[in-house]
Amino acid sequence: MCSTGSSVCRTILTYFTVFLFIIVSCIQSAAQRKTNSIQLRKVKEEQLLISNFSQYYKNWSKQFVELMEEHEKHYGIKPEVVRTIFGLCSTPKHPWPTPLESSPFLIDRPEFCRARPNVRYLVAVHSHTKSRHRRDLIRSTWASFRRVNDVRFATLFFLGRAENEKAQMEINQESAQYQDIIQRDFVEDYHNMTRKHLTVLEWVSKGYCQSLEYLIKVDDDTFVDVFHLARFLKTERLKTPDSFYCSATSGAKPIRPSKKTSSKWVITKTEFEKNVFPTYCEGLGYIIEASLAPYLYWCSLFTPPIWIDDVYVTGILAENLGLQRQEFIPGHTYSRVGPSKQNEALLDNIFLTSYYSEFLPETFRRIWQTAVSCSMDII
């Protein structure tokens, strides 16, 4: 054994350090070369696809040619922008626009914003045909105000097909009464949530609401403090344009099928090949500029879908388009609350949801009473 201070020991240590440095540098260099190679290949694919766009475009169906004309008229999205989206979102295997959901709208409301002029914020609520109680709860609380100061709100519930004729008749009656339901002809199922999410984007992209500034997407167990939301968007606005304002999750790994797994979030390698999901927004709620809806919808036409809608829309599509996920700013965030915590929660949160679904009605009503009493000076 040599002593620590001996010259032999120092020489060995120096050589060993240099050796380790060379090994690490080689590994990093190889990884960088691989990354650069992948990026270069992707850029070349994008360039090739863009250069061939006109060739593909000639063979598009009339439906998508008309869609492009509509989006140019309502949103100023010119053909060259669609060509760029095509380059970002399509692959050589998927060069044709293919909608995941093309079933007819059972209930559509093209006149929705004509009856509510100057709507600036639209809250799109994912609901289920069997969840009338939740829709009524929302209508009687945070969706009951259509204006906060000079800001006009509107709320729409997005549904799939009812399970039978009697249930569909009840939905039709509810829709006739409240005029706030959009329904499409697909089965109400957890694995069809991406279809519902894309229906929201497609409907907003139709340009029915010309004065729309922001799209707020929530689930029907989410409380939206519309007073806080109006203050936030008026004073803060979204710090980063072209982004989702949400609670973002990074580094999440897919749950794969196994005998030990009973999770409802299981997804196969065939459905999603990568081992890590892109950064995505948690499903309880997010805010985007309404003008981004057609970009996301166009991207979905060229991007193979997965059934986990939050990952697909706010992760995969957002990543393809280069949209950021802007984390909630402290003081303007979200929380889960119980029946006794609603007063404190209102101070710092735009979105709230209950820990326990059985407390949802009580929690919503108490939060709403507090929100109204605290915000009477700005109504």
Strand partners, 154: 122
Topology of the domain comprising 105-378: Spore Coat Polysaccharide Biosynthesis Protein SpsA; Chain A (3.90.550)
**Residue 335 dihedral angles phi and psi, to the nearest 5°:** -155, 160
pLDDT at site 43: 47
| Gap between the Cα atoms of 52 and 45, Å rounded | 11
**Domain segments of the chain: what residues?**
105-378
Strand partners, 325: 244
| Gap between the Cα atoms of 19 and 15, Å rounded | 6
pLDDT at site 37: 38
pLDDT at site 334: 82
Instruction: Profile the chain (379 residues) by mean pLDDT over runs of 10 residues.
Output: 58 60 54 40 51 77 88 85 90 88 96 93 98 97 91 97 97 98 96 97 94 96 92 78 91 88 88 95 92 96 96 98 90 74 66 74 86 69
Within 8 A by CB and 6+ apart from 297, the residues are 198, 201, 202, 205
What torsion, rounded to 10 degrees, do the Cα atoms 44, 50, 51, 55 define?
130
Strand partners, 336: 353
Pairing of strands 280-281, 222-224: unpaired
Convert 305-338 to b/e letters by CB count within 10 Å (16 or more is b): bbbbbbbbbbbbbbbbbebbbbbbeeebebbebe
pTM of structure: 0.84
Whether 121 contacts 216, CB under 8 Å: yes
Whether 210 contacts 184, CB under 8 Å: no
pLDDT at site 29: 54
pLDDT at site 329: 85
Residue 147 carries which side chain, given as an amino acid letter?
A: R
pLDDT at site 42: 46
